[in-house]
Structure formats: structure tokens, C-alpha cells
């Protein structure tokens, strides 16, 4: 069993196809197929199945995938610790991000300084819903991820705190109020966004034993805001997720009553096992947070 075989298997599983994995790696499809056959032959199990043109993990393949990704992560940590002894001149850092708060408010400031300090570190960024970032961390697909706190399953580093706000169409009766309650948001169609606060929003309503009239579910915040601006629904999002300069006449935001805060931070599966590149990213982010460099 080689690290190359494990890398190919992990990528085929991620992309759900031999052709896509071959294109990503820049090798032939036959080379990908050969590596998978060799790995399956050595383990004496079938890891992948092809059904109607799609590639799916077998039960044992699904069970072994996190362990193999863990082995790849450990190998990368070993390489980076060796590079760290030489001044961390090379390595890879995989980051998971969600929505505008982390992707537009936090990441640019951190990355600008990180790249200046460690130009040899290759950075990969995947963006998805907040719950997806948690799954990527658990599956070891990323080294560090932005998450909504608290997250007791991971080692976390708080970076930012803001408040949840109701977002309403201009001219909505609730827009005339200084603040809005959760119960008041249950009287209109509701649009739920996956862009960073979906779990928190759902938990807030459940804890209050309220049921919003969810009529829309959007993966992107801009789609959510467009629906609100059109007068079709109301929503609840984090204040710092909103654009700094919303288009005029589109929507208004009002704080919740009682107020609800949201905390955002970085998370790693284990600080003790984090690679030098990931630890350096965490240390830089927390330093910028202390110095006020992440609130601009």
C-alpha cells in the first residue's frame, strides 16, 4: 500500500469518478484504475463499485476512507514538520470556509499575511454550508475550518462575534420596529439560507418551540436577500454576513429581541495532530484577532 494509491482512492471517492480524478491528478484514467485495483488486491476487498456510469463506495470503502485520509494527513504532517525545520518553505494547507462572514470578512486579511510569511505553502480553499465544513473536518478532507461556535468535537479558536438580525422587505410592517422577536418572524413565508447560520437559526426556533413557515431554502446568501427584497419572504441571518453596501430599496435588517449573538472561529480536528502549516494559520488568525485586524 502506497501513499499514491491512498491519494488516488481518496480523490476518486471525493469526485465520484475515475475520469474526474485522473483529470485532477494529470494522469491517465488507466493509471487511476490500476492504482485502485492494486490497492483492492492488497487489501483483498472491493473499495469502489461502478453502477450506471457512477462510482460509489462500498460499505468497507466508506469505512476505510476516513482512516486512509488520516494516514495521508499524518504523512503530510511529517513532511511539513521536516519542512518546518528548514523554515517551512513548502507544504499544503486545506481550509474549509462558509458564507460571506468567513470567506469575505475573515479569510482575506488572514491569507494576505499568511502568504507573505509562508510563500511556499500551497493553499486550497473549499467553501460550503457550515455543516459541510464540519463534515470535511471530521473526514480529514481539510486541515482547518471556519465554524460557528461552540463546537465541542473539535479544538477551536474564537475569532469574531456578531448578532443575528431579521432581514425584512422594505415596507414590511415589522420594519418600522426597532427590534423583532422570533415569534413575529413566524407570520410570513421564511427563507432559510445555508450560508453559515442554518444550524443556529434552526436551533433558535426549536429552542423557542416555534415553527417558521419555511418556503425557500437557498445555498447562497445573495439568493436569500434577493427573495427578501422581492417581498416574497423574511429571513434571519448574522449581521456580518450582510453586504457592507446593500443595494438601496432592497431590504432592511433589525436586531432580534431578545438579542442573539453568533460566534465564529477556526477549528481543527486535533491541535496536537495539526500540521505546522495549520498551526501557523491558527496562530496568525488569533494574533490578528487580538490586534483587531479581523474586524475591518
- For the chain, how many residues are written? 296
Contact 6, 35 (CB under 8 A): no
What domains lie within the chain, and their CATH numbers? 1-72 (1.10.10.10), 161-261 (3.40.190.290)
Residues paired with 166 in a beta bridge: 236, 254
Q: Which long-range contacts (CB under 8 A, 24 or more apart) does 229-233 make?
A: 229/169, 229/170, 230/169, 231/169, 231/171, 231/172, 232/189, 232/191, 233/188, 233/189, 233/190, 233/191
Residues paired with 163 in a beta bridge: 261
**Contacts with 289 (C-beta within 8 Å, 6 or more apart), sequence order:** 158, 159, 160
Q: C-alpha cell of 228?
A: 427578501
Contact 99, 195 (CB under 8 A): yes
Contact 169, 234 (CB under 8 A): yes
Output the tens digit of pLDDT for each of the chain's 296 residues. Answer: 898 999 899 989 988 889 898 898 889 989 999 999 999 999 999 999 987 778 899 999 999 999 898 888 888 878 777 766 566 777 889 999 988 889 888 999 999 999 999 898 899 999 988 888 998 998 888 999 999 999 999 999 999 999 999 999 999 999 999 999 999 999 999 999 887 678 889 999 999 999 999 999 998 888 899 999 999 999 999 999 898 776 666 899 999 999 999 999 999 999 988 888 899 999 999 999 999 888 65
Contact 218, 227 (CB under 8 A): yes
Rounded-to-10 torsion of CA 108, 109, 111, 113: 150
Q: C-alpha cell of 180?
A: 423583532
Q: What is the pTM of this model?
A: 0.72
Question: CA 40 to CA 244: how far, in whole Å?
Answer: 52
Question: CA 133 to CA 146: how far, in whole Å?
Answer: 7
SS (H, E, C) 49-83: EEECCEEEECHHHHHHHHHHHHHHHHHHHHHHHHH
Question: CA 48 to CA 57: how far, in whole Å?
Answer: 5
**Contacts with 78 (C-beta within 8 Å, 6 or more apart), sequence order:** none
Contact 70, 269 (CB under 8 A): no
Nearest alpha-carbon partner for 25 in 47, 46, 9, 37: 9
Name residue, grid cell 434552526.
202
Amino acid at each position: 500500500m502506497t501513499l499514491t494509491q491512498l491519494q488516488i482512492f481518496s480523490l476518486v471517492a471525493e469526485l465520484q469518478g475515475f475520469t474526474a480524478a485522473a483529470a485532477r491528478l494529470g494522469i491517465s484514467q488507466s493509471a487511476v484504475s490500476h492504482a485502485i485495483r492494486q490497492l483492492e488486491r492488497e487489501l483483498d476487498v472491493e473499495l469502489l463499485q461502478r453502477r450506471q456510469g457512477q462510482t460509489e463506495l462500498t460499505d468497507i470503502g466508506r469505512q476505510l476512507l476516513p482512516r486512509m485520509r488520516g494516514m495521508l494527513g499524518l504523512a503530510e504532517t511529517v513532511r511539513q514538520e521536516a519542512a518546518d525545520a528548514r523554515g517551512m518553505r513548502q507544504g499544503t494547507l486545506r481550509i474549509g470556509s462558509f458564507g460571506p462572514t468567513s470567506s469575505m470578512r475573515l479569510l482575506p486579511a488572514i491569507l494576505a499575511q499568511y502568504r507573505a510569511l509562508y510563500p511556499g505553502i500551497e493553499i486550497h480553499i473549499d467553501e460550503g454550508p457550515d455543516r459541510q465544513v464540519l463534515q470535511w473536518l471530521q473526514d480529514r478532507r481539510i486541515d482547518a475550518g471556519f465554524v460557528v461556535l461552540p463546537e465541542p468535537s473539535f479544538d477551536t479558536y474564537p475569532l469574531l462575534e456578531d448578532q443575528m438580525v431579521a432581514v425584512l422587505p422594505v415596507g414590511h410592517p415589522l420594519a418600522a420596529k426597532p427590534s423583532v422577536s422570533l415569534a413575529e418572524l413566524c407570520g410570513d413565508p421564511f427563507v432559510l439560507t445555508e450560508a453559515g447560520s442554518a444550524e443556529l437559526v434552526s436551533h433558535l426556533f426549536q429552542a423557542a418551540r416555534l415553527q417558521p413557515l419555511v418556503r425557500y431554502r437557498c445555498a447562497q446568501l445573495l439568493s436569500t436577500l434577493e427573495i427578501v427584497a422581492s417581498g416574497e419572504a423574511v429571513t434571519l441571518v448574522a449581521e456580518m454576513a450582510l453586504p457592507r453596501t446593500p443595494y438601496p430599496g432592497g431590504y432592511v435588517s433589525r436586531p432580534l429581541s431578545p438579542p442573539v449573538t453568533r460566534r465564529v472561529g477556526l477549528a481543527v480536528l486535533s491541535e496536537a495532530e495539526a500540521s505546522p502549516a495549520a498551526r501557523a494559520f491558527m496562530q496568525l488568525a488569533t494574533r490578528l484577532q487580538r490586534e483587531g485586524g479581523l474586524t475591518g
